[in-house]
Chains A and B, each alone.
Chain A
Amino acid sequence: MTLKDNPDTDEQEFNLEKISPELLLKDTALGFDSAFKFAVDLLDNFSQVLYGSPYALMVATVSVLTGEHLLLEDAPGVGKTILAKAIAKSLGVQASRIQGQPDLLPSDVTGFSIFNPETTQWTFRPGPVFSQIVLCDELNRTPPRTQAALLECMEEAQVTIDGTTHLLPNPHLIIATQNPLSQQGTFPLVESQTDRFGLSCSIGYPQIEDEIKLAINHGTADQVLKIKEIGDQELWLSVIRTSGLVHVSEAVARYAVEICRYTREQPFISLGASPRAAISLINSARGVALINRRDYVIPNDVQVIATASVAHRLAVDPPHRPQEIISNILRSVAQPRP
């Protein structure tokens, strides 16, 4: 399967039967070892296209393992899109791309009904959001109503058009990028929308050695085409289910919840982490545990993923930065003892 840049030119109708409710309900949990192998393969694939950003690679892997939507915030040209493409390619699933721009309409994202004169019937044409992986480039350039259309997709995993509800494929992962530096002509994401992204991170500029390697390797050929598919939709779904079965002890859950509650108590944080953030933090920590070949979460897993999972949800008074606050909080909240 290939990455489609413009869904409008694609004549093929989306096959909704493939994601029937039976498939959704089927218990497809794998063994933890298979899930771990899947995670290591993913990391291998990602490290072929992106050099020197281990944290971003880990966050992207956790996002795939747990199905948490991913928001990449960074300057242009550091490899946000490449990473998103690599995710789609590795999973061997259908992916589509939305290029954020101010005149993008909600129907451009979700799809629309068209009148067929031959059959005298309205036919639904699914939009790019019906792909399993949706890459929203420059999300903060889309107008708020289009952002709002994405909200329902992200939380409910369904789209309602003309009174009909269409289920989105499962698993369904939205990877959005935004460029925090240029604020001209942007519509900043509202808090409710950033809260729906389970994970967020920046990639950062590579070290000089990595950049040289990058310049050589990416000069002529698309590295993404070289990476191998490591699974399909069914395998991915069962990996997500397996990650949900990673054991979280009460002490660790308490630790994660205490971190989230602590953000609400700080005077310089005007909006703290929601209970949804705590759920998402624990869920993401399960992904970290899986990467480390464990079937249980330790406090360190929570610490590792806390910045990516919580920081982007906070509304912080300047001059504080959410990332700094999270690392301060990790020092302040008492850890479980053993």
Chain B
Amino acid sequence: MSIPNFPYQSSYNSYENAKPLLEDAKEEKVGFIEFIRRANKPGRYERSISLRITSTAAVVIGILAAGTVGELSPIAIGITAISTIAGSIYSAFSYKRPRLWFKLVLAIFGIGIFSQFLLHIVAAANSGQLTSVLGPLATLFASVQALHAFDVPARRDLGFSLAGSATLVAIGAASALNTSFIFIIALWFIVVVWGMISMWGSMAEGKVSTGRSLKQASIATSVVLAVAFAIVISLPAPTPLQTIQLPSSVTNQVQLSNGGGLVNPGTKNIEPAQPGKPGGKIAVGGYVGFAGPLNTGLRGQLSNQIVLRVRAPHPSYWLGETFNNWDGQSWTQKGGNTKAISGPSPFYLPITGPNVQASGVISPSRDIQTFYVATDLPNLLFAADTPEEVFYPGSQIFLGPGRSIRSGLAMNSGLIYTVISQDTRATNEQLAQALPQGASPTFGLSSQELSTDLELPNSYSRVHNLALSIVSKANANTTYEIVTALENWMAKNVKYSTNIPPLPPNADSVNQFLFVTKTGFCEQISSALVVMLRTLGIPAREAVGYVPGSFNALTDLYEIKASDAHAWVQVWYGPLGWQNSDPTASVPFSTPTPGSLLLHSISNFASSHKLWLEIIIPLLLLTNGGYLLLLALKKREALSWIDAQEAKLRKASRKNNSWPAGETSFSQRVKQLGGQLGPTGDPNKIKTAIKLREISESIEKLYYGRGNIKPTDSPPKSLATEIESKINQVYKELIKDKGPAEK
């Protein structure tokens, strides 16, 4: 047991003026500044090597995690990872050096990185130009971590590294496309848990048994893991704000040179489906309806492989193209020509049909959908509702007939594009009021275009009679009532099956389906509905694309399989334009999380108030920065008196290397400094030592004696000048004294 300074040997102050007693102590509240001061107290050098290794490993894993999903460029990964490791090694060995200049250098680097980040964002916001998906945010975080690694002396700094690696992993997780990313998170989690165990061990100064802490840590982490999983499931990945950047990229660029014609990679190298024959096999992405005519006589099997992943605010029919011409067996496109749209991304699409916004019935929101192509697909760009803008990596897209958007590049796996659509879906109530029977205005389409959507190859009198009887039985008058009545009849009287016998040669597909087999899949059912509607004089057309697919709550993406290819009906609702109607047994849509709906509305708000945000965000940044600067200055001011006194004596005693180390208070250090000078026997030094003791005691009396002031306060002016003059004297004497080594 060591005995601290034996107390009763200290010098005696005069106590003639013992003040009246029993004075109530003043209440001290911990103010904000004091709180900041306590929080910012520099920590001691951390000796736990395992904590240093794990925090470095966590950051490197975070950088790699952000890198694997393409948020960091390979160069950025290399530089940040290597400098993180180098910085950690440097910090581990540099616990004794004064590092003010080094911190300055780090600060300059940090400012440089941040300003580059800001410039990047400003440039992207100004031009709307999209060059890559590489997130400037991930680069910023990774660089900050790499810089921070050079200055991690204390336990708290290492804790910051551990926490900071979480942001990198989170960035990676937010843009991860599939669930296998969970393994990276698991690896990171193990490292972080180990780091936390070492941190705990180091807090208890190595006096916790590893077994016990491991047990407690595993209980704690399983709880955390469960909570984290619940949060990941319920929270959406952020929908990108349009003001910053929208993803589009291509990894394997193959230019198509067919002038916007459709190419279906799925029909090559595989047994093609043929009319009149039992089902063949169709390649993964190659639903036949996506390239060329939609032959309802074809039979085929589609696999369950994932072909597309979509990040979207809500589930929709991802429309590929529509068909207007029916020949009794196949759907083809009649009229219209292919128009090239060139120029850099984004590509603005002309909107045909009624301007639903102007009609005032629907005020469409703008939905941002990002499509991640997972396998080779026909060069159709899928999109929901009414697409307006396409962010696309190529230099040219084509607007084909039947509202098809065609890619100028082959749609290889790895291609990413983003579509902004007007959400022009109408509610059932709006549909019910939309178009009285017999209303004729064409609402933006030519009457010739509309008449194509009424044409039939023959009179279809039997179908017409059936449709009439259904409608009259249901007492349906408006378009909506008629469509609903027909759909209800279909649901009751028709069986859904993908396994139906081949169509006999020369047979009419609709007649065969409605009056012979009464069994079919989406192609037969939707074709029958279109024909029935056309016989009743309602414009209708066939649409092909994908159903929304299943929603993956971990990645927040809709995963679309090859078998999600679908055919449905679009009905002309006059002022509401073309509206989807799916007579096939209702496809259950996966519901998005409430969080993604919220983010969707935020994103809509941001895109509709783009200009305001561009002003407000920099303003907020500026004011916050100014506030933080003020705070820092104020903090400095609040600490100034004691700090200034300490700095003087520290500077003076550095010459002798005699400033006492350790976490003692200022007055105790002053006393210790005096104690070091005292025993030398040099009368001048003893005089200095006595003066130091006097300084220490007057500071102690000031802060701990009766009527004491708070530890953060500066003393009254007269006392402060008295103490400062003594310190100045001692300072001069200490500076004069170069120490025994130089004598």
Contact = CB atoms under 8 A, between A and B. Distances in A.
B8 A300 contact: no
Contacts of B12: 293
Interface string A304-326: 10010000000000001001100
A299 interface: yes
Interface in B656-686: 662-668
Interface string A230-274: 000000000000000101111110000000000000111000000
B18 A338 contact: no
A301 B699 CA distance: 15
B204 A250 contact: no
Main secondary structure of the interface of A (DSSP, over half): helix
B432 to A, nearest CB: 68
B218 to A, nearest CB: 16
Nearest to A337: B711
B13 A293 contact: yes
B68 to A, nearest CB: 39
Given A288-B7, A320-B207, A336 B2 contact: no
Scoring A297, A303, A320, A335 by chain B CB atoms within 10 A of each residue's CB, the highest score goes to: A335
A338 B666 contact: yes
A42 B23 CA distance: 29
Given A295-B15, A338-B665, A338-B699, A267 B212 contact: yes
A47 B234 CA distance: 74
Interface residues of A, number: 48
B704 A252 contact: yes
B28 interface: yes
Contacts of A31: 18
A14 to B, nearest CB: 34
Interface string B471-503: 000000000000000000000000000000000
A20 B41 CA distance: 54
Contact of A299 (B10, B665, B706): B665
Nearest to A303: B4
B611 interface: no
Contacts of B667: 298, 338
A336 B1 contact: no
A295 B705 contact: yes
B15 A300 contact: no
A135 B589 CA distance: 87
A300 B668 contact: yes
Contacts of B13: 293-294
A247 B706 contact: yes
Contacts of B25: 248-250
A58 B705 contact: no
A31 B665 CA distance: 30
Contacts of B710: 251
A31 B21 CA distance: 11
A327 B711 contact: no
B205 interface: yes
B702 interface: yes
A266 B208 CA distance: 9
B703 A292 contact: no
B663 A331 contact: yes
B704 A296 contact: yes
A304 B706 contact: no
A120 interface: no
A12 B710 CA distance: 56
B208 A291 contact: no
Contact of A32 (B18, B41, B212, B668): B18
B204 A267 contact: yes
Nearest to B713: A338
B interface majority secondary structure: loop
Contacts of B7: 58, 288, 291-292, 300-301, 304
A327 B1 CA distance: 8
Contacts of B334: none
Contact of B702 (A39, A268, A327, A338): A338
A334 B699 CA distance: 18
Interface string B202-213: 001101100010
Contacts of A327: 1-2
A266 B204 contact: yes
Contacts of A252: 704
A17 to B, nearest CB: 30
Contacts of B15: 32-33, 36, 293, 295
A268 B213 CA distance: 12
A295 B705 CA distance: 7
A299 B671 CA distance: 13
A43 interface: yes
B327 interface: no
A328 interface: yes
A298 B701 CA distance: 8
B705 to A, nearest CB: 4
B208 A249 contact: no
A180 interface: no
Interface string B3-25: 11111101011010011011101
Contact of B665 (A40, A267, A296, A335): A335
Contacts of A32: 15, 18
B297 to A, nearest CB: 77
A206 interface: no
B430 interface: no
30 contacts: A32-B18, A39-B8, A43-B8, A55-B6, A58-B8, A245-B21, A250-B708, A251-B704, A251-B710, A266-B204, A268-B204, A288-B7, A296-B700, A296-B705, A296-B706, A298-B667, A298-B700, A298-B704, A299-B665, A299-B704, A300-B4, A331-B663, A334-B38, A334-B41, A334-B663, A335-B665, A336-B703, A336-B711, A337-B666, A337-B712
Interface of B: 1-8, 10, 12-13, 15, 18-19, 21-23, 25-28, 38, 41, 204-205, 207-208, 212, 642, 662-668, 699-706, 708, 710-712
Given A58-B6, A249-B25, A328-B205, 9 more contacts: A31-B18, A33-B18, A55-B6, A247-B23, A249-B708, A268-B207, A295-B705, A304-B5, A334-B38
